[in-house]
Amino acid sequence: MSKVEDLLHRAAQIDALAEAALLTPNAQLDNAVETSRANGIPPIAVSALAGQYLAIQAQLIGAKNILEIGTLGGYSTIWFAQTGAKVTSLELNPKHRDLAIENCKGLDVEVILGAALETLPKLKEEGRVFDFVFIDADWGEQWEYYQWAVELTRKNGLIYIDNVVRELLESNPELEEAKGSLLAKIGTEKRARATLIQTVSGHKAQVEDRVDGFVLAVVL
């Protein structure tokens, strides 16, 4: 095994150490993991440490209203809602929606069924405003989601886009001149200030999936 492969394998051990040291037992999150597995929901929720990171960001800005695009079984939804915020989460798949509602019992969570690009304009029409938008659905629509997120987020609110590096590696493996790329487009959006943070995570079964990264942006 090369040194780099070894480091990627050790990322899993480091995550385990960090989880044991930093996270507290959480029955509702454990239940969401368990019911998702039992219902054959794909294992693509954020990791526990990433969930804690998102919750910290929400707490830092005192987020009261959070918009999530891509609910799955409600795992990240629970992380957000347990900070005390109200979470509005958008989901296309009725099976995922149903399970998420079950998993989020007792928390201030609304799941809206439908394609996000159909729901987002309605939220705008209704005058809804959010403190934090978490984008975690179809990778191919990240740019459109980002544009809506900028529209729907208050000044100094945050936007987080998951899986940006994996999307880049899939859509442009040679990393050629990135004019039409998501990153280039985000750079043209002057209503927000954005950065890319590359990540290595241990919770993916496939080693090559462990390299990823997210965009974090603040609305100006």
Contact residues toward Mg ion (CB under 5 A) are 136, 162-163
Selected binder of ligand DHB within 15, 131, 136, 167 (CB under 6 A)? 136
Selected binder of ligand DHB within 68, 91, 162, 189 (CB under 6 A)? 162
Selected binder of ligand SAH within 115, 178, 184, 220 (CB under 6 A)? 115
By CB under 6 A, residue 45 contacts ligand SAH: yes
- Nearest one of 47, 58, 91 to 73, comparing CA atoms: 91
* Partner from Mg ion, ligand SAH, ligand DHB, none binding residue 209, C-beta < 5-8 Å depending on class: ligand DHB
Tokens of 84: 């005390």
By CB under 6 A, residue 141 contacts ligand DHB: no
Residues contacting ligand DHB: total by CB under 6 A: 5
Return contacts of 105-110, CB within 8 angstroms, 24+ apart.
106/28, 107/28, 107/77, 107/78, 107/81, 107/82, 108/81, 109/74, 109/77, 109/81, 110/86
- The least distance separating Mg ion from the CB of residue 160, rounded to whole angstroms, comes to 10
CB 101, CB 77: distance < 8 Å: no
